[in-house]
Amino acid sequence: MAVLGKVYLIGAGPGAADLITVRGARLLAQADVVLYDALVTPEMLELCAEAEKISVGKRSGQRSTAQVHINEQLVECARRYRMVVRLKGGDPMLFGRADEELRALEEAGIEVEVVPGITTAVAAAAATRQPLTKRGVARSVAFFTSSTAPDQPEHAALPETDTMVQYMGGREAAATAERLLGQGRRPDLPVVVIENCSRPDQRILRLTLSDLAHGLDMAHGPVLVMIGETLQRRPHQSPD
């Protein structure tokens, strides 16, 4: 009986190659094969120069490798290679389809380990110097996305929280703002939008909930939208 390889689900972080964890970089350098997301940069892939590299990119609104096929590829690679890395943008366990991949690997009897990465919300808070929590202002944070499965309602309930962080929010941000305004949220509630977080072409936009309801002109990279009182610019804060 052939010995199965081991699969590592590794978080690549928000984009910049030096924001991957030390453990993630070490394992990536040792990999025999790497199945990577569309948001993984060429600089990140330089860390696994000797490995076979397979693109399994998934981007909203674009053609991508079906998840069931990715699952099959992971299992097949584990039968052929000693060390397999599934490299995911951000953190594997947050909006990363990790449950589906873990199930497929576990059902096939393949050993799997998850290596966390810096999720984009945390990187965005650092890049904009805006804490997502603040004493006396915000004590709760919710990460959410408007993307739903085919059998789920088109508009899931918005989270009840002090600070809201919408992943993959470029297209859906205006609808979110309209729903929040309809619920009675203040039109001048602070909003910070970040595109291509941590990358050289990073772009930051500060606006209000009312502004956001008119839509965003940010369609060239992954967009994260942060909404809440804690995002108010500090009086002596330097420009981004």
Residues 6, 18, 37, 151: which is the catalytic one?
A: 37
Give strand pairing partners of 6: 83, 111
Closest CA to 39 of 5, 89, 1: 89
Alpha-carbon gap, residue 92 to 9, rounded angstroms: 7
Q: Strand (E) positions, 93-180?
A: 111-115, 141-145, 163-167
Alpha-carbon gap, residue 22 to 232, rounded angstroms: 33
DSSP symbol at 90: B
Alpha-carbon gap, residue 114 to 239, rounded angstroms: 37
Looking only at the bridges linking them, the beta strands covering 141-145 and 163-167 are parallel
Alpha-carbon gap, residue 199 to 29, rounded angstroms: 22
Residue 37 annotated as catalytic: yes
Question: Which residue bears the tokens 């940069």?
Answer: 41
CB 137 within 8 A of CB 229: yes
Residues 58, 88, 99, 240: which is the catalytic one?
A: 58
Closest CA to 145 of 162, 124, 168: 168
Residue 217 annotated as catalytic: no
Nearest 5°: phi and psi at 48?
Answer: -130, 50
Q: List residues with catalytic annotation.
A: 37, 58
